[in-house]
Amino acid sequence: MPLVTTKEMFEKSMKEGFAIGAFNINNMEIIQGIVDAAEAQKSPVILQASEGAIKYARMPYLMKMIEAATEETTIPIAIHLDHGANFEVCKKCIDAGFTSVMIDGSKYSFEENIEITKKVVEYAHERGVVVEAELGQLAGIEDDVNVSEADAKYTDPEQAKEFVEKTGCDSLAIAIGTSHGAYKFKGEAKLRVDILKEIKEKIPNTPIVLHGASSVIPELVETCNAYGGEIPGAKGVPDEILKEVSMNGVSKINVDTDLRLALTSEIRKALAENPSAFDPRKYLTPARAKIQEVVEHKIKNVFGSSNKA
């Protein structure tokens, strides 16, 4: 099936009350693990690449691997730029064949964010590409900007309405208490679901995106640590909360950290258990299978997108 935009995916997810997983890709094993999971669950899926991922994998390889995925499967796949920092990056991805881009103007003032987002929307829409924008700031480390947890700015529902009206963006990433990476909460994990509901009331037809939504799966952290890793005190968003927001207006849930943990924990384990092994296939095969297992779990038990392809 050819690549699709997220438009049709989100229309269905908003109508039926489920979320679509957007999983970060960096190499072949990660792409295959995600796509095999979505295929097994008959779920639509969003593959997203950050600027760092594009730099690492290189654009021609990335696009060819995605093309291969669409040839092998029948499920709808969208390819999305994660956290585009400026117009040029978005343009590069649109020109390369991405079906969706994110312009992340969250570090700018409200007015500047509107301006930069509008410019990307204009270029993207002329080419049939959809745009995700962000309003409000996540806690923790986002790209090169270090926003302390105390400074986290939740999205203002009233501003969200004005922002969407003025920019014409297709979906909106909001800040309700999540953060990127493996250390999301010091104490109890808590999201401002009340703010989400208020935003949804103001912009009922705009798909809402949740970044920093890995659950930082405790078993994966334990495996990493048991085999030489040092990831103490890692904590993510519990599945129950993600399930609640999936049913209450969040249409896209971003996951990267859990995939990193899945891959790394299996590689650590396989290498530790087979010290004489040096064939990469010996440790990348279980690592890829772990990615598939993690993604299938999220699709089936948390996001609710099984059989929605």
Task: Give the footprint of ligand G3H on this chain (CB under 6 A).
Answer: 24, 50, 52-53, 82-83, 180, 256
Q: Among residues 254, 264, 265, 292, which is the contact residue for ligand 13P, using CB under 6 A?
A: 254
Residues in 184-243 that interact with ligand 13P by CB under 6 A: 211-214
Cβ proximity to ligand 13P, 39 vs 134, nearer residue: 134
The token duo for 182 is 């493996």
6 forms part of the interface with ligand 13P (CB under 6 A): no
DSSP state for residue 207 in the 8-state scheme = P
Q: Between the CA of residue 261 and those of 34, 48, 125, 222, 234, what are the distances in Å?
A: 14, 17, 36, 10, 11
82 forms part of the interface with ligand 13P (CB under 6 A): yes
* C-alpha to C-alpha distance for 118 and 299, rounded to whole angstroms: 32
* C-alpha to C-alpha distance for 81 and 93, rounded to whole angstroms: 7
* C-alpha to C-alpha distance for 110 and 129, rounded to whole angstroms: 23
Q: Would you tell me how many other CB atoms lie within 10 Å of the CB of residue 248?
A: 14
Residue 167 binds: one of ligand G3H, ligand 13P, Zn ion, none (C-beta under 5 to 8 A by kind): none
What is the bridge-based pairing of β-strands 145-147 and 140-142? antiparallel
Find the catalytic residue in 36, 82, 156, 170.
Answer: 82
What is the C-alpha radius of gyration for the chain, rounded to an integer number of angstroms?
Answer: 18
- The yes-or-no answer on residue 104 being catalytic is no
Q: Binding pattern to ligand 13P, positions 11-50, x when CB under 6 A?
A: -------------x--------------------------
211 forms part of the interface with Zn ion (CB under 5 A): yes
* C-alpha to C-alpha distance for 77 and 99, rounded to whole angstroms: 9
Q: Among residues 118, 180, 290, 298, which is the contact residue for ligand 13P, using CB under 6 A?
A: 180
Q: Residues interacting with Zn ion, by CB under 5 A?
A: 211
Name the residues annotated as catalytic: 82
